[in-house]
């Protein structure tokens, strides 16, 4: 008989992950993790058989193919290390094994590689509850307040709480509309700064603000750089203490800079909240003002233990995405250059890219 505590979607999850969820989540399953150490091998084998049977691990289920040649401990890492361009290695594997296949990256859980729009849509719609959680990574631990930032937080009570705060208080249509003057002001300042640099090769920004802006830009660049890198420690956690390339040290320094900026802004907004009352702050408050007012009115739930860290993590969620629009525009322009017929279905003039070879 099927175990009702395991959802049907767990039929897609490896047995090892099922064991982790079954024995390492006492809050949801009522099982103390230490009890796992007291189980005899025979009992453990029975548990595996029971989970396998109850989760429909049988011939009726289809699994994503897995390329052969996985090494002990390191798995398929040699496939990517030997490839000069990993995305081409993934493309070659997709051509051979289909739009969805499994890879073993070190000692972590198997990784599902998807290269089809239809499969990706199913993962994010029909099976979204299976893929809702996020992996534990070195970058998330060292730079995102130990996975407190919403984009790094594993699925659970804390994630649901900060998602509710972000949806209701930060991303609502009313809040976005209230911040329209702020966006307009920032665009005006940016255009003025661009004009000053063009005319005087300098800006009229105060030295203190200029220093803080430079620190912020550098920290965000470093954050996105390390976030986009795949660290060896994520696949082989037991080697994290070695820190061969100094990436862990660099991520700690980046987190220190970001925390300094976040704490400075938070202190400023708390001081402003103490000075301003009533409609004055309601008409001019931004994201941090909203979070500070929630703190003062006691609106944070008991699931949030460290309010300061939560506020800074929510603010950091906004800041680390400052390059999203620029990256999207670059990608759109690149696609338009490669597909000029989308711009001019019936061009009157011939279109030749400047990098194309000519006779």
Helix H or strand E segment including 293: helix 287-296
pLDDT at 240 over 80: no
Asked if 73 contacts 107 with a C-beta cutoff of 8 angstroms, the reply is yes
Residue in the block written with tokens 């711009």? 343
**pLDDT tens per residue across span 102-158:** 988 877 778 888 988 898 898 888 888 888 888 888 888 888 888 888 888 888 888
Residue 100 backbone class (left: φ over 0; alpha: ψ -120 to 50; beta: rest): beta
Which residue from 305, 338, 312 is spatially nearest to 150, judged by alpha carbons? 312
Query: To 5 degrees, how large is the angle CA 154–CA 160–CA 166?
Result: 110
Between residues 258 and 81, the one the model is more confident about? 258
Instruction: Give CA separation, 80 vs 86, 239, 282, in Å.
Output: 6, 19, 52
Average confidence score pLDDT of the chain: 72
Q: How far apart are CA 138 and CA 131, in angstroms?
A: 20
Residue tagged 């202190």 (tokens):
267
Q: Which residues contact 319 (CB under 8 A, 6 or more apart)?
A: 216, 220, 258
Distance CA 156, CA 239 (A): 28
**Is there a contact between 55 and 6 (Cβ–Cβ < 8 Å)?**
yes
Q: Buried b / exposed e across 102-113, counting CB within 10 Å, b at 16+?
A: bbbbbeeebeeb
Query: Angle, to 10 degrees, between the axis of helix 307-319 and the axis of helix 247-275?
Result: 110
Query: What is the structure's pLDDT at 10?
Result: 33
Residue with token string 């460290």:
306
- List the domain boundaries for the chain: 1-62, 64-132, 157-319
Give the pLDDT confidence of 174-184 residue by residue, as tens digits. 777 877 887 78
User: How many angstroms separate the CA atoms of 76 and 2, rounded?
Assistant: 34
If pLDDT is split at 50, 70 and 90, which confidence band does 279 have? low
Flag the least confident range among 24-28, 60-64, 150-154, 353-357.
24-28
Confidence grade of residue 268 (pLDDT, cut at 50, 70, 90): confident
Q: How many CB atoms lie within 10 A of CB 318?
A: 15
Q: Are 53 and 11 in contact (CB under 8 A)?
A: no
User: What average pLDDT does range 26-55 have in this prediction?
Assistant: 35
pLDDT at 354 (0 to 100): 59
For residue 96, give both structure tokens. Answer: 């051979």
User: Across the chain, where does the E strand assignment appear?
Assistant: 100-103, 111-114
User: What is the mean predicted confidence (pLDDT) over 303-321?
Assistant: 82
């Amino acid at each position: 008989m099927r175990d009702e505590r395991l959802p049907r979607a767990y039929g897609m999850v490896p047995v090892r992950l099922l064991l982790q969820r079954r024995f390492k989540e006492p809050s949801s399953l009522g099982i103390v993790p230490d009890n796992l150490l007291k189980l005899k091998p025979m009992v453990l084998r029975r548990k595996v058989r029971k989970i396998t049977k109850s989760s429909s691990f049988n011939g009726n289920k289809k699994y994503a193919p897995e390329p052969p040649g996985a090494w002990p401990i390191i798995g398929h890492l040699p496939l990517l290390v030997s490839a000069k361009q990993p995305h081409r290695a993934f493309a070659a594997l997709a051509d051979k094994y289909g739009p969805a296949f499994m890879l073993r990256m070190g000692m972590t859980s198997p990784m599902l590689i998807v290269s089809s729009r239809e499969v990706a849509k199913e993962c994010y719609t029909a099976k979204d509850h299976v893929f809702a959680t996020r992996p534990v990574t070195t970058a998330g631990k060292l730079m995102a307040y130990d996975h407190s930032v919403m984009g790094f937080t594993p699925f659970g009570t804390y994630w649901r709480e900060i998602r509710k705060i972000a949806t209701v208080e930060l991303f609502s249509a009313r809040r976005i509309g209230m911040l329209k003057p702020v966006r307009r002001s920032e665009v005006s300042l940016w255009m003025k700064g661009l004009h000053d640099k063009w005319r005087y090769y300098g800006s009229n920004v105060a030295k203190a603000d200029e220093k803080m802006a430079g620190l912020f830009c550098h920290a965000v660049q470093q954050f996105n750089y390390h976030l986009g890198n795949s660290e060896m420690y994520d696949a082989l956690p037991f080697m994290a203490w070695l820190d061969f390339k100094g990436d862990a040290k660099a991520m700690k320094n980046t987190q220190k800079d970001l925390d300094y900026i976040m704490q400075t802004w938070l202190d400023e907004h708390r001081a402003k909240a103490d000075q301003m009352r009533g409609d004055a702050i309601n008409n001019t408050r931004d994201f941090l003002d909203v979070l500070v007012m929630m703190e003062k009115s006691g609106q944070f739930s008991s699931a949030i233990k460290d309010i300061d860290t939560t506020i800074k993590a929510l603010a950091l969620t906004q800041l680390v995405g400052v390059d999203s629009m620029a990256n999207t525009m670059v990608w759109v322009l690149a696609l338009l250059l490669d597909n000029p017929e989308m711009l001019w279905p019936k061009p009157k003039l011939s279109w030749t890219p400047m990098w194309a070879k000519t006779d």
